[in-house]
Structures are given as C-alpha cells and as structure tokens.
Amino acid sequence: MKFSTRAEYGLRAIVHLAKTTKPVSLASIAKKEGLSLAYLERIFAKLKKAELVKSFKGVKGGYVLAKPASKVKVAQIIEALEGSVYQLHCPDCKISCCVHPVWTKLYKQIYKTLNSISLKSLIK
C-alpha cells in the first residue's frame, strides 16, 4: 500500500493544526510546512467534509480541529483523504483467488494500526 502526498501533507498539516486551540490560517500552515496553499485548500476541503476540522471566516479566522486530538485517529484522516484503507488492488482478482486472504489480512492490520494512533500522540 502506498499513500499519496495528499495523505502525507494532510497528516502533517493537521498535526500542525492540533498544536493550538486558536484558528490557524492555511497560508501559515503552508508556509511553515513548505506546502502549496492551493493543494492544502483541497486537502482541508476533504477534512472539513469528513468533519475532522472546522473553519472560521474573518480576520481572525482559520481552521481548528472539530474534536479533541485524542479523539481523532490517523485512520480517520487517511480515509478522509485517500478513501477506504480496505481497497484491494488485485487486477483480475476474484474473491476466491488464493492470495485474496493475504491482502485482506494485511489491510485489516494496516487499518488496526492506523486506528490505534491518535492525533494527540503525534504532537511533539
């Protein structure tokens, strides 16, 4: 399984966001993380749709976490940005193929691991 830059950048940006309770502008996150503002805007639209972040308009506006960092799991972030972790990528695969159980077990472990890591545990 390979995660895209969307997952990597989104995780970095939301960790940055989790370090404060005040609204943070995407421009400041983009600058501090060295990311494209336009790309970050698309990422945060997905995070907002998944109800992981909230936005506030105005001079002191920006983004904040929608719930405490201890309640946000890395699996939720990855799935908001990448889709289901359980996607099997077997061309011509049939459910009865001999390696299908291997991939199923692998994806379950990946999900279990991602779901065991809270956003709070990533804050340094």
CATH number for the region 5-122 comes to 1.10.10.10
Question: Which residues, other chains included, contact 46 with Cβ-Cβ below 8 Å and sequence gap of 6+?
Answer: 6, 10, 80, 81
Q: Give the Cα separation of 35 and 57 in Å (integer).
A: 22
**Torsional class of 91: left (φ above 0), alpha (ψ -120 to 50), beta (otherwise):** beta
Q: What is the pLDDT along the chain (124 residues), one digit of tens a residue?
A: 667 899 999 999 999 999 998 999 999 999 999 999 999 999 999 999 999 999 999 888 999 999 999 999 999 999 999 887 766 555 556 666 677 778 788 888 988 999 999 999 999 7
Asked whether the beta carbons of 72 and 61 are under 8 A apart, the reply is no
Reading the block at residue 118, the tokens are 């809270």
Give the SS3 label for residue 57.
Answer: coil
Q: What pTM was estimated for this model as a whole? A: 0.85
